[in-house]
Amino acid sequence: MEIIRWVGNETALHNAIAGFPAIILLLLIVICLIILAKGADWMIDGVVYLAKRTGLSRIVIGATIISLGTTTPEAFVSVMAAWMGNSGLALGNGVGSIIADTGLIFGLTCLLGSVPINRYILNRTGWVQVGAAVLLVVISVIAWIIAPEKPVLNRLIGVFFLILLTGYLYATYTWSQQSGELICADETEMTERKAMTLAQCWLMVIGGLILVVSSARVLVPCAAEIASRIGVPDDIIAATLVALGTSLPELITAVTAIRKECTDIVVGNIVGADVLNCLFVIGAAAVAKPLTITQNFFTFHFPAMLIILFSFRIFIFMNRDNRFRRWQGLWLLSIYVIYIALQYSLKLGTSFG
């Protein structure tokens, strides 16, 4: 029970780390980086093997299994935050992660490598990605019209989101049966190795996920504590390290997939994570306790989220050769940087944690 409280309670986690000397914090950061890299290696290799064994495309595995793994800790933290009365943190976790995943991580992915477009999948899951975000905003606006003094996402809305999540996972599996598979650079080498059993594939994927998520959970507070001790203002820490922390598993997954030239996994993970942040993270938190929607979501966070997601959708439509362009990654990354800069300058970073 104490471990669960430590993992889910941000205050308890930071208080525990605050008592460590600087040398221990630096050692933990180095160890976590090594574990992150190794876990991501296992996970990406496991996805490729799993795709070969099951016949599912890697983009779909990225959009379902990997996204579920990387967003479950966020959902857990958001549920705990909502339960303890911090609904701003719970809602901000979901919205902020969508902005970071698509703006920062996918933007960097496009800048660093050639990213393919699986048009069959993205013309379906991509619309779910945008649709889930639009639905969240529309429901929030309706809640604001009904109760302008204190708009809330109630438990019924949370249940509705979780039902939609179930439908999305089933539909994605169905679509995957007819999708084409992209070739990974390491796949020839893997074919030459001894064939892996399905259980070994799952062990690599799940084991890698556990290593990535758990090490990221420790690394970010350690880095934030070091930054605080050397005099970095709390607002800057909140707007950078803490904001990045929830999306660190997706970032490490993206970097590893680019290195292995399996960028289709990145696309699936980003799209799936965006959908799950709306339907799973926010839905589960709203079921735990109704979420109050503060004014800055309507004036700042929701518009930033929609600009990034609609930009992503337009790029899919534009790229007839089924490749994302580097300038498109730069555009998404620029929006994220402007969002972070405004969040700090307007003192909005601490409004939801």
- Least reliable range by pLDDT among 42-51, 62-71, 231-240: 231-240
User: Quick check: 93 and 81 in contact, CB under 8 A?
Assistant: yes
pLDDT at residue 287, rounded to an integer: 92
Instruction: Give the whole-angstrom CA distance, residue 13 versus residue 6.
Output: 5
The rounded Cα 6 to chain-centroid distance in angstroms is: 21
What number is the average pLDDT over the span 166-184? 68
- pLDDT for residue 237 is more than 80: no
Per-residue pLDDT, averaged over 28-52, amounts to 77
Place of tokens 């994605």: 172
Work out the average pLDDT over 198-222: 79
Mean pLDDT of 62-83: 73
Residue positions counted in the chain: 353
How far is the CA of 98 from the CAs of 101, 153, 282, in angstroms? 5, 18, 11
Using CA atoms, how far apart are residues 97 and 262, in angstroms rounded to an integer? 22
Angle at 281 between CA 280 and CA 282, to 5 degrees: 95
Q: Give every CB contact of residue 73 below 8 A, 6+ residues apart in sequence.
A: 7, 213, 217, 249
Q: Is the dihedral of CA 113, 118, 119, 124 positive or negative?
A: negative
pLDDT of residue 351: 43
What is the mean pLDDT of the segment spanning 132-154? 94
Note the pTM of the prediction, 2 decimals.
0.76
Domains in the chain: ranges and CATH:
2-345 (1.20.1420.30)
CA–CA separation, 164 and 170 (whole Å): 10
Q: How confident is the model at residue 210 (pLDDT cuts 50, 70, 90)?
A: confident
**pLDDT (tens digit, 9 = 90+) per residue, 249-294?**
777 777 777 777 777 777 887 888 899 899 988 999 899 889 989 8
